[in-house]
Amino acid sequence: MSAERNLLEEQKAYYRARAPEYDDWFLRQGVYDGGFEENRRWFAEVDAVRGALRSFHPGGRVLELACGTGWWTRELASYADRITAVDASPEVLELNRRRVGGDGRIDHVLADVFQWKSPEAYDVVFFGFWLSHVPPRRFEEFWAHVRAALKPGGRVFFVDSFQRSTAARMSRPAGEPGEGVEIRTLGDGREFRVVKILYDPARLQADLAALGWKGRIACTESFFLYGGLEPA
């Protein structure tokens, strides 16, 4: 097995093991509690991204890649006619099902995002906190996969980390700076390596334009990178 494949398998194992802790990160609880002011800014910026998603209006049939525990699935359900929510972790998918409350419009699929091929085309593809976990060598391949999942006229919306401080309390760089690999620590002390690429908005927009995408990529003041795109 290649070094990259080993890393991706370790990343998958991390998110399976982290499933019970993931919501603490999003809700700024426990070790992720940054204090009153930082938490206030976090939730204000979450609301700003929600506002951008509302303006984007992800209607029709929506594919959510790496759907996680359902925070964004629940948001998408406010607009979508039907959602296909894909994740490689059965533990995470179970939490997602609970969060969306048995919504019959949501189909949950257990699959590796890198290997799964969509059997249908969608009006919108969404992914939250996933692009930063795509190895640079697979960047172009991933965006080709996204394009193949879209109907003509289809669109993409994503949100991700803007800077490392959002998870820094439980992570540290692995190897040399800029290599794009972190070591993440769980509450029980276990450690896992994950891919973590932090993008500059302008550079990412230029790279995607070179691959034939148009749209706007922006960031909040401190925490989030997000964008709405479509094939040029």
Each residue of 207-217: pLDDT tens digit? 999 999 999 99
Mean per-residue pLDDT for 115-127? Answer: 96
Q: How many domains does the chain have?
A: 1
**Identity of the amino acid at 10:** E
Burial of residue 107 (number of CB atoms within 10 Å: 0-12, 13-18, 19+): exposed
Is residue 152 a part of any domain in this protein? yes
**Is the pLDDT assigned to residue 65 strictly greater than 90?**
yes
Residue 196 lies in a domain: no
Q: What is the pLDDT of residue 96?
A: 98
Whether 195 is in a domain gets the answer no
- Which residues are paired to 195 by β-bridges? 181
pLDDT of residue 171: 76
Any idea what the CATH number is for the domain that residue 163 is in? 3.40.50.150
Assigned token pair, 97: 């099902």
Burial class, 13, CB count within 10 angstroms (exposed 0-12 / middle 13-18 / buried 19+): middle
Could you tell me if 59 and 81 are in contact, meaning their C-beta atoms sit under 8 angstroms apart? yes
Mean pLDDT of the chain: 93
**Per the structure block, which two tokens stand in for 192?**
């896992």
Separation of alpha carbons 23 and 158, rounded Å: 19
Q: Which of 193, 180, 196 is nearest to 9 (CA)?
A: 193
User: Residue for token digits 């609970």?
Assistant: 98
- Whether residue 217 is contained in a domain is answered as yes
Q: Is 24 a domain residue?
A: yes
Q: Which domain holds residue 97?
A: 3-188+201-231
Which is nearest to 226 in space by CA: 149, 156, 137, 164? Answer: 156
Instruction: State mean pLDDT over 57-69.
Output: 98
In a domain, 194, yes or no: no
Residue 169 domain-assigned?
yes
Using the predicted structure, report yes or no on whether residue 1 has a pLDDT greater than 80: no
Query: Whole-angstrom Cα distance, residue 48 to residue 50?
Result: 5
Q: Which of 66, 48, 196, 201 is nearest to 135 (CA)?
A: 196
Q: How far apart are CA 61 and CA 59, in angstroms?
A: 7
CA nearest to 35, candidates 128, 172, 169, 160: 169
Q: 3-27 and 90-100 are packed helices; what angle lies between their axes, rounded to 10 degrees? A: 30
